[in-house]
Amino acid sequence: MRHFAIVGVLIALLTPAVYYGISASNVMPIQASLQALPVDWMWNMDAAAMAFLFCLIMVPLVYSLAVFRRRKGDLEDADHIEGNTKLEVTWTIIPLLVVSAFAYLGAYTLGETRIVAPDALEIRVTGLQWDWRFEYPQGFSSNELHLPVNQQVVLRMESLDVIHSFWVPEFRIKQDVLPGRVTEYRITPIRVGEYKVRCAEMCGTSHSYMERPVIVSSMADYDAWVSDQAAAAAALLAQGGPESGKALVSQNGCLACHSPDGTLLTGPTWRGLFGSTVELSDGTTTVADEAYLRASIVDPGSQTVLGFPPGIMPQYSLTEAQVTDIVSYLLTLK
């Protein structure tokens, strides 16, 4: 019994120390959302369990290596032990109960992160290779996600191509963004500041660059920003022409793949495109006139440029006027 008592005391002393070491490592970023609170509570429970299990395994192991090691000159066989039914039943039943308890706590925590607020704001999120687009109910879109503090926001998310995953580490929770299906992400920011949304699902060659700013501000600042953006979008739409087209390609994430200055990204550059001869993947060539540009926007799968994979460019829901504005902008990039 003396050895059991010593091991028990060592486990009791070392478990808090290991837990403190885990907590002091600051593996979790700051808590910037209401949903982060139950998630971090669950993480602390897991960390305490990990610390205890680590000590429960390592302390007897190290103690046995030190105390019960074979002595020099000792050539006798060790005692043969057949087993202990009571011990085996115990270490089966107790872990089963503990795992069941943690399963319940995990389900409870998940429920806490998905509580629905009736006054939640709604923003539409579109993921695409390799960018994010955010559409606001006031009739404009942006490459930045703006959120008011202390107000629940529900993000209705969909992918235009492959599976992505919406993740802001300071918010803790993440959600897959799927093609052909709208998924829901509820968040209540509690800390004003600037963060980043990242894609947490390997989605292609530029996956690591799929980041956009997330800006949490006061409700007054958020309302002012929304008002300014809505007014600017309305003015551009009324103005039409190249400036409107420039804003549209920025808002719709086109610059993630196409550059206006000749830089080669994952899609053809727009610099000098108009009037040039384009080689297509089917072996034919065509002239990049206005009809070609319009067809490439409206039906991007109809013609694939040689050297670029087919089916990458998503099909956008654009009005005829918006397509005309984008084409007029592309004509200026000579």
Collapsed DSSP state (helix, strand, coil) of residue 311: coil
- What CATH number corresponds to the domain at position 299? 1.10.760.10
Model pTM above 0.95 = no
**Is residue 149 situated within a structural domain?**
yes
**Is residue 72 situated within a structural domain?**
no
**Is residue 93 situated within a structural domain?**
yes
Q: Are residues 30 and 49 in the same domain?
A: yes
**Is residue 73 situated within a structural domain?**
no
- Print pLDDT tens along the chain (334 aa): 788 889 888 999 999 999 998 888 888 889 999 999 999 999 999 999 999 999 999 999 999 888 888 777 777 777 777 778 888 898 899 999 999 999 999 999 988 888 888 889 999 998 888 889 898 988 788 889 999 999 999 999 998 888 999 999 999 999 999 988 999 999 999 999 999 999 999 988 889 989 999 999 999 999 999 998 888 877 777 777 777 778 787 777 777 678 787 777 777 888 887 778 888 887 788 887 888 888 888 887 777 887 777 766 766 777 787 888 888 888 787 7
Listed in order, strand segments (DSSP E) in 160-210 are 164-167, 174-177, 183-187, 193-199
Q: 281 — phi, psi (to 5°)?
A: -70, -20
Q: How many domains does one find in the chain?
A: 3
Q: Which of 233, 260, 287 is the last residue of a domain?
A: 233
Q: Are residues 226 and 305 in the same domain?
A: no
Shortest CA distance to 265 belongs to which of 255, 273, 275, 274? 255
**Is residue 69 situated within a structural domain?**
no
**Is residue 15 situated within a structural domain?**
yes
Q: Are residues 29 and 125 in the same domain?
A: no
Enclosing domain of residue 107: 2-64+86-113
Residue for token pair 């808002």 = 251
Shortest CA distance to 60 belongs to which of 10, 12, 131? 10
Q: Are residues 197 and 139 in the same domain?
A: yes
- What CATH number corresponds to the domain at position 218? 2.60.40.420
Buried b (16+ CB within 10 A) or exposed e, 227-265: eebeeebeebbeeeebebbbbbbebbbbbbbbbbeeeee
Q: Are residues 177 and 250 in the same domain?
A: no
